[in-house]
């Protein structure tokens, strides 16, 4: 199956999906992927869900509320839930809304005083509305707050709490004695799987009881034991107490096993190990230095100048060490390290140091130093060397930067191509699943062919009505059988219009739709003629209309060539199935009926009655079952004369050899007086058979088969 997990997916990883949906294809969409700014590829949830709807056909949707996380400040949960419901409306989707304890009915007073509680109750009402109004199969699963012990995830509540504890103080919003229910996300995945395994279409709220009954104070004490010396502050919130419920244990065989207070040390140890890996003191110091490059360079330049001036003074009197010009070495070093600008600054500082040494050590005056050109040479050398070294360093830096940019560009291109390749592979898999599983795919057409592979026309009518309604996404399908060459009798209709659909139409009324005849054809009501369907398909047999399939209403987006071709293909499959069924009936007519009559034998009549009962159960048709009251005439004479007393679309059957039943198709209880009057004219008295008797009769026929005996 195709499964969409959406909302607060901070607790969802591969292990969660494998446990909750084994063997299914799962698409996980986090709420952060639907940012409302223009930088997001999907500017709104509506666009995101439309994108998903085009690429996937989901069978199940699990929405995880943001309020499953304690102390969360995330907004927009109600709007996102409504967007998901609007996308699922009108589709056969099983939606499980996993909510936190804020909206529990048993804690209405406590929850109602908070904004989160009000929103949680509104989300409950929203689920009820869409379940009743739009037909979305919805269940609310109310669980304690979630936490995760998975090494692949960061808990959105515990990790920030550990970070706060590491600073020496932490704050919990609840009062010290307030209830604080908590559930491991890994256990939730098992419960979700069991709920879907025994899914029914009824709306209900499933409450998961708080097994361990922890309080906020107990969690605070556990944090203090893990972080000695930490100060924990408590709020004044009354918390959320879940109602006592054993539905998870009784119905699904599930109970909570993991306790947060026992798992907390393991989670904290994993957090501590990850934090040690992430924070390296040396690396952090280097990063801080790199963030302040200009001040550090200036400080290092000044400190190096002082150092080399001290070396120059110390070694100026040494015969061996005096041969080195430490100021020139300083200029080369700074220019090579920091570039042209700092190289010139170093040359200036070296010149200042050299001039100071001339004045103090050798007794030069400014005039003597300035007016003697030979004294300029060291100063010129400093600036030339500083400029050359700085230029070389600058050119190398630019070359390295260009090479790094080129490498980054190649890396980004490689990453993009890799992602593009993986996306193409995933799209290929998605398209393959669409071809097999989408509601209008060739795989679905093959499934339709298998569904229609039956020999009872009544079963074909019912399956045809169901399949057309599902695949065409239309609730106004009607099917008529032409009898007597002049009338079209209703045999099946979509449940939404079954009560209002006309039970009989004359072929004159349908003249524009039937055309010239001679072959089966599709008709489209492009001129919007009143009283006629939007689409009609005529199935002809022996050159005359036999079955009419109508779509009475169609939306504007369904008046397309694609929709017409899809309707034509499906009707063609129905035509082939009906052709086989009619041929089978014609061949088996003698075996199905009592000799020389149109009265069905017991087994054949049971099949017809079961088919009509299935139509009635699906609210696609109605029927009356009448029992002929024994009178003066023998049953054998009634069997021979009954054919002229009922319509061509009705059926009569003989059960146990002496009880005659009449199956009046598309008849209701209000039609009983008219039927009795018509049969009384033929000297036939009847009595209706109620629902329980019909079930008993079907069971009796199934048990005895064709053992009805002879006819008197």
Cα maximum dimension of the chain: 157
242-261 pLDDT per residue, tens: 888 888 888 888 989 899 99
- Say yes or no to pLDDT of 281 above 60: yes
Task: Quote the CA–CA distance of 212 and 258 in Å, as a whole number.
Answer: 9
pLDDT score for 19: 92
Q: What does the pLDDT read at residue 712?
A: 35
Query: How many Cα neighbours within 13 Å face the side chain of 645?
Result: 26
d(CA 226, CA 488): 81
Give the model confidence (pLDDT) of 183-198 as tens digits.
999 999 999 999 998 8
706 pLDDT more than 70: no
pLDDT tens track for 400-433: 889 989 999 998 888 888 888 877 877 777 676 6
Question: Has residue 50 got a pLDDT over 80?
Answer: no
User: For position 104, what pLDDT does the model report?
Assistant: 64
At 209-226, the pLDDT tens digits run 888 889 999 999 999 999
- The percent of residues in the chain predicted with pLDDT above 70, rounded, is 85
Q: What is the pLDDT of residues 346-385, one digit of tens each?
A: 899 888 888 888 787 767 777 777 777 777 788 888 899 9
pLDDT (tens digit per residue) in 490-533: 999 998 888 888 888 888 888 888 866 555 688 998 888 888 99
**What would the mean pLDDT of 78-100 be, rounded to a whole number?**
85
pTM: 0.47
d(CA 468, CA 475): 9
Q: What are the distances in angstroms from CA 510 to CA 488, 501, 545, 551?
A: 9, 15, 11, 14
Domain boundaries, the chain: 2-279, 280-450, 453-590, 593-704
Q: Is 653 helix (H, G, I), strand (E, B) or coil?
A: strand
pLDDT above 90 as % of the chain: 15
Q: Report the pLDDT value the prediction gives residue 188, as an integer from 0 to 100.
A: 94
What count of other Cβ atoms lies within 10 Å of the Cβ of residue 481?
Answer: 23
The pLDDT, as a whole number, for residue 438 is 54
**Across the beta sheet with 60-64, what order do the strands follow?**
25-30, 2-7, 60-64, 94-99, 137-142, 204-207
pLDDT in tens, 228-237: 989 999 988 8
pLDDT at residue 302 tops 60 = yes
Residues 6+ apart with CB under 8 A from 14: 152
Q: Which has more pLDDT, 201 or 579?
A: 579
Bridge pairing between strands 182-184 and 145-147 = parallel
| Tokens coding 407 | 């490498």
Question: What is the residue-averaged pLDDT of the chain?
Answer: 82
Q: What is the pLDDT of residue 56?
A: 58
Strand pairing of 504-506 and 25-30? Answer: unpaired
Residue-wise DSSP of 211-232? SS--BHHHHHHHHHHHSTT-EE
The predicted structure's pLDDT at residue 194: 92
- Helix 457-471 / helix 561-587 crossing angle, nearest 10 deg: 170
Q: Is residue 711's pLDDT more than 50?
A: no
Q: Calculate mean pLDDT across residues 602-609.
A: 89
Closest listed residue to residue 214, CA positions, set 247, 186, 242, 249: 242
Least confident range from 76-90, 544-558, 636-650: namely: 636-650
| Average pLDDT score over residue span 331-339 | 85
């Amino acid at each position: 199956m195709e499964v969409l997990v959406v909302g607060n997916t901070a607790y969802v990883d591969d292990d969660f999906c494998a446990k909750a949906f084994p063997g299914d294809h799962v698409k996980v969409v986090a709420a952060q992927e639907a940012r409302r700014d223009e930088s997001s590829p999907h500017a709104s949830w509506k666009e995101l869900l439309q994108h998903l709807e085009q690429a996937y056909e989901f069978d199940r949707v699990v929405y995880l509320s943001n309020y499953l996380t304690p102390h969360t400040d995330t907004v927009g949960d109600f709007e996102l839930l409504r967007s998901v419901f609007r996308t699922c409306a009108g589709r056969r989707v099983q939606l499980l809304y996993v909510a936190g304890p804020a909206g529990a009915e048993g804690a209405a007073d406590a929850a109602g005083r908070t904004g989160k509680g009000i929103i949680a109750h509104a989300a409950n009402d929203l689920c009820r509305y869409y379940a009743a109004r739009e037909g979305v199969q919805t269940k609310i699963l109310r669980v304690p707050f979630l936490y995760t012990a998975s090494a692949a995830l960061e808990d959105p509540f515990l990790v920030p709490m550990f970070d706060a504890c590491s600073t020496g103080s932490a704050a919990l919003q609840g009062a010290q004695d307030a209830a604080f229910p908590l559930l491991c996300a890994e256990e939730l995945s098992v419960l979700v799987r069991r709920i879907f395994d025994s899914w029914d279409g009824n709306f209900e709220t499933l409450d998961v009881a708080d097994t361990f009954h922890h309080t906020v104070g107990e969690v605070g004490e556990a944090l203090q034991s893990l972080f000695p010396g930490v100060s924990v502050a408590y709020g004044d919130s009354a918390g959320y107490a879940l109602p006592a419920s054993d539905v998870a244990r009784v119905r699904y065989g599930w109970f909570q096993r993991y306790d947060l207070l026992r798992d907390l040390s393991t989670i904290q140890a994993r957090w501590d190990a990850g934090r040690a890996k992430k924070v390296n003191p040396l690396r952090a110091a280097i990063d801080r230095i790199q963030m302040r490059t200009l001040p550090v360079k200036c400080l290092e330049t000044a400190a190096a100048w002082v150092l080399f001036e001290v070396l120059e003074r110390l070694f100026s009197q040494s015969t061996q060490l005096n041969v080195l010009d430490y100021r020139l070495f300083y200029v080369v070093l700074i220019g090579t390290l920091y570039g042209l600008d700092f190289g010139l600054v170093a040359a200036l500082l070296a010149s200042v140091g050299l001039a100071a040494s001339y004045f103090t050590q050798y007794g030069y005056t400014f005039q003597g130093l300035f007016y003697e050109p030979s004294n300029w040479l060291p100063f010129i050398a400093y600036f030339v060397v500083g400029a050359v070294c700085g230029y070389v360093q600058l050119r190398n830096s630019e070359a390295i930067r260009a090479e790094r940019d080129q490498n980054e560009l190649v890396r980004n291109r490689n990453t993009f191509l890799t992602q593009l390749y993986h996306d193409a592979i995933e799209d290929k898999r998605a398209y393959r699943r669409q071809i097999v599983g989408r509601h209008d795919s060739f795989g679905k057409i093959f499934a339709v062919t298998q569904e229609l592979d039956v020999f009872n026309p009544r079963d074909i009518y019912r399956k045809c009505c169901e399949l057309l309604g599902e695949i065409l996404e239309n609730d106004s399908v009607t099917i008529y059988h032409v009898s007597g060459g002049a009338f079209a009798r209703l045999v099946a209709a979509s449940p939404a219009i079954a009560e209002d659909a006309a039970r009989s139409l004359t072929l004159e009324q349908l003249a524009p739709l039937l055309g010239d005849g001679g072959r089966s054809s599709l008709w489209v009501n492009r001129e919007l003629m009143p009283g006629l369907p939007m689409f009609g398909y005529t199935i002809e047999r022996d050159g005359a209309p036999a079955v009419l399939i109508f779509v009475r209403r169609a939306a504007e987006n369904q008046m397309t060539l694609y929709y017409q071709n899809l309707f034509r293909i499906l009707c063609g499959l129905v035509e082939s199935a009906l052709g086989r069924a009619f041929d089978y009936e014609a061949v088996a007519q003698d075996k199905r009926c009592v000799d020389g009559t149109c009265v069905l034998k017991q087994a054949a009549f049971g099949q017809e009655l079961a088919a009509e009962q299935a139509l009635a159960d699906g609210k696609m048709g109605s029927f009356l079952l009448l029992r002929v009251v024994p009178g003066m005439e023998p049953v054998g004479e009634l069997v021979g004369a009954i054919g002229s007393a009922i319509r061509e679309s009705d059926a009569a059957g003989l059960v146990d050899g002496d009880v005659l039943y009449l199956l009046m198709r598309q008849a209701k209880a209000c039609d009983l007086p008219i039927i009795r009057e018509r049969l009384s004219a033929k000297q036939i008295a009847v009595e209706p058979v109620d629902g329980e008797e019909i079930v008993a009769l079907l069971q009796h026929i199934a048990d005895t088969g064709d053992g009805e005996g002879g006819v008197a």
